[in-house]
Amino acid sequence: MTPEEIKRYLEFYRDLGIKDLRMHPPAPPPPATAAKPVAPAPEPAPFSERTPAMPPAPPADLSESPLPPPVMAPAILPMQPENDTMERIRADIGDCKRCRLCQDRNKIVFGAGNEKAPLVFVGEGPGADEDASGLPFVGRAGQLLTQMIEGTSQKEGIPLLREQVYICNVVKCRPPENRTPLPDEMEVCGQFLFRQLMALQPKAICCLGSTASKALLGSKDGVMKLRGKWAKWRDIPVMVTYHPSYLLRPYNQNAKREAWDDLKKVLHFVYD
């Protein structure tokens, strides 16, 4: 890595609000031509503290694209400041312009719910209603998610209100036309999700749809293959199920039943 690349790398993390930088594996020695190191040699972090990296963004020809160039993120070493808090993460996001999704957003959708909840739901990104309100899952899909949480928990004898869990997304700004977030957007904004999850320390995470499962599990498998089985993000159990917007389509009634089954497993694991 050249001194210029190291400098860009450090600036990237500084922009994310990360001030205590540790790297693993240790950075290779600078080339002989380098006059002086850009930063003091950091302590290597234990490998177990690292989060599975997102796959790198595929190269794209953006010469005719109306979009600005992709986020020039160097290979990510996921990490978070020590003693991180939700307030600190929110402050670090600020009026974020770290990726192109800032361009059309109205409101950043940080997340909502009980920050002490043992259960966190992770979706893909805000839609139009969420972008307008600044709150996650408030449109039709959100209403279905509320029904899923409150209806299933009621039936299972674990009465739970939606406000008692925490809900957030992989990206905090609405992608144009509700498109799927691009890998580099997920990689940059995903760092805030990782910090949120580490600060929240839930007993379990429920991934809603394939974007969330890709972000947390790094798996290329689709929801149909991943759903219903426990996986892990770091040491936290993860259950993948369908995104509520997929369940709203009338021909997905079987998926609805499966999603309810997945949710039952999560609720009993967390609250029994």
Q: Going by C-beta distance under 8 Å and a sequence separation of 6 or more, which residues neighbour residue 237?
A: 203, 204, 205, 230, 231, 269
* Binds ligand SF4 (CB under 6 A): choice among 119, 149, 171, 247: 171
Q: How far is the CB of 83 from ligand SF4 (least distance, A)?
A: 22
Q: How far is the CB of 266 from ligand SF4 (least distance, A)?
A: 26
Q: Does 98 bind ligand SF4 (CB under 6 A)?
A: yes
* Binds ligand SF4 (CB under 6 A): choice among 18, 93, 112, 216: 93
Q: Are strands 166-169 and 112-113 parallel, antiparallel or unpaired?
A: antiparallel
Q: Going by C-beta distance under 8 Å and a sequence separation of 6 or more, which residues neighbour residue 127?
A: 139, 141, 174, 178, 245
Q: Does 102 bind ligand SF4 (CB under 6 A)?
A: yes
* Binds ligand SF4 (CB under 6 A): choice among 76, 108, 141, 212: 108
Q: How far is the CB of 60 from ligand SF4 (least distance, A)?
A: 17
Q: How far is the CB of 199 from ligand SF4 (least distance, A)?
A: 16
Q: Which is nearer to ligand SF4, 138 or 186 (CB)?
A: 186
Q: Does 16 bind ligand SF4 (CB under 6 A)?
A: no
Which helix (DSSP H) or strand (DSSP E) does residue 132 occupy?
helix 128-133
Comparing CA positions, the residue from 240, 210, 237 lying closest to residue 228 is 240
Residue 141 backbone dihedrals phi, psi, to 5 degrees: -65, -35
What gap in Å lies between CA 209 and CA 42, rounded to an integer?
37
From residue 117 to residue 136, the character string flagging contacts with ligand SF4 as x (rule: CB under 6 A) and all else as - is --------------------
Range 182-241, binding ligand SF4 (CB under 6 A): 185, 188-189
What gap in Å lies between CA 270 and CA 132, rounded to an integer?
32
What gap in Å lies between CA 29 and CA 204, rounded to an integer?
40
Would you give the DSSP letter of residue 122?
A: E
Q: How far is the CB of 63 from ligand SF4 (least distance, A)?
A: 23
Q: How far is the CB of 181 from ligand SF4 (least distance, A)?
A: 8
What gap in Å lies between CA 133 and CA 109, rounded to an integer?
8
Q: Does 38 bind ligand SF4 (CB under 6 A)?
A: no
Q: Does 162 bind ligand SF4 (CB under 6 A)?
A: no
- List interacting residues with ligand SF4 (CB under 6 A): 93, 96-99, 101-102, 108, 171-173, 185, 188-189
